[in-house]
């Protein structure tokens, strides 16, 4: 029996994430949305989603004592960070006048710079809609997903890891930013696989069958 924990810390709608996982999971997989550290630590795979603002995100994780749980999971079992759940893994975010984050992946989270748009058209923020994901490495989570497939994004901040080697994909808006990162048993994406139709479901399927080795 495979047990998947979706970390519930009150940040946004987790129903879509769990429903999308259920739709690709086999009969032998249970999916639980939970804030219980014991259940998260006992799971085989952990999904760390989130939408909203980073200060509330880190605040809630600390209040529920999930910050150290995520740090431990990041060293021990397949972990998938999604959107804000990806940004929280970095060291620091510019959002909310600056917030120290989990510091599992060294680097910063920065705002899209509207003023310095290279494009002649005004850069719209949030970056909202379906954009191409350029896979920069081969990885089990990219299995059966075509290069430059479009995934659904909605965000105003993006990750800028200190070590470029953690980049698993980039996306152009209006310059290349890091849209997926990986490190050992950790994989995190800026886009929403649970809202990205077939390609998104394929990525979730790949995650459920991933043993955490890249």
Query: Of 124 and 165, which has the nearer Cβ to another protein?
Result: 124
Instruction: Say whether residue 41 binds another protein (CB under 8 A).
Output: no
Identified binder of another protein from the candidate list 7, 196, 206, 207, rule CB under 8 A: 196
Identified binder of another protein from the candidate list 62, 96, 129, 184, rule CB under 8 A: 129
Q: Which of 57, 83, 95, 127 is catalytic?
A: 83
* Whether residue 194 lies in the annotated active site: yes
Identified binder of another protein from the candidate list 77, 127, 183, 205, rule CB under 8 A: 127
Query: Of 140 and 174, which has the nearer Cβ to another protein?
Result: 174
Give the C-alpha separation, 42 to 114, whole Å.
43
Query: Which two structure tokens, joined as six digits, stand for 7?
Result: 């970390």
CB of 61 to another protein, least distance (A): 16
Query: Of 32 and 212, which has the nearer Cβ to another protein?
Result: 32
Strands 149-155 and 127-135: antiparallel
Cβ neighbours around 15 below 10 Å, total: 11
Identified binder of another protein from the candidate list 87, 101, 171, 185, rule CB under 8 A: 171
Instruction: Say whether residue 35 binds another protein (CB under 8 A).
Output: no
* Whether residue 45 lies in the annotated active site: no
Q: Say if residues 61 and 54 touch (Cβ distance below 8 Å).
A: no
Burial of residue 44 (number of CB atoms within 10 Å: 0-12, 13-18, 19+): middle
Query: Which two structure tokens, joined as six digits, stand for 120?
Result: 């002649």
Q: Say if residues 50 and 11 touch (Cβ distance below 8 Å).
A: yes
| β-pair partners for 186 | 79, 183
- Residue 128 sits at φ, ψ, to 5 deg, of -130, 125
CB of 131 to another protein, least distance (A): 5
Dmax (CA) for the chain in angstroms is 53
* Whether residue 192 lies in the annotated active site: yes
Residues interacting with another protein, by CB under 8 A?
A: 12-13, 15-16, 19-20, 22-23, 51-53, 114, 119, 121-132, 150, 152, 154-156, 171-174, 192, 194-197, 200-201
Catalytically active residues are 83, 192, 194
């Amino acid at each position: 029996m495979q047990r998947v924990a979706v970390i519930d810390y009150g940040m946004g709608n987790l129903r879509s994430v769990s429903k999308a996982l259920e739709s690709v999971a086999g009969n032998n997989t249970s999916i639980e949305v939970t804030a219980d550290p014991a259940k998260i630590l006992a799971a085989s795979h952990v999904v760390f989603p989130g939408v909203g603002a980073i200060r509330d995100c880190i605040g809630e994780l600390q209040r529920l004592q999930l910050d150290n749980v995520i740090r431990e999971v990041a060293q021990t079992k397949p972990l998938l960070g999604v959107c804000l759940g990806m940004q929280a893994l970095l060291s620091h975010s510019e959002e909310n006048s600056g917030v120290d984050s989990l510091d599992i992946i060294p680097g910063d989270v920065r705002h899209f710079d509207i003023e310095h748009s290279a494009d002649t058209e005004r850069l719209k923020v949030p970056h909202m809609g379906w954009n191409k994901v350029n896979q920069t490495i081969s990885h089990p989570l990219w299995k059966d997903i075509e290069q430059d497939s479009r995934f659904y994004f909605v965000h105003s901040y993006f990750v800028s890891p200190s070590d470029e080697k953690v980049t698993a994909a980039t996306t152009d808006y209006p310059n290349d930013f890091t849209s997926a990162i990986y490190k050992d048993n950790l994989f995190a994406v800026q886009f929403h696989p649970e809202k990205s139709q077939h390609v998104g479901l394929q990525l979730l399927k790949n995650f459920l069958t991933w043993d955490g080795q890249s």
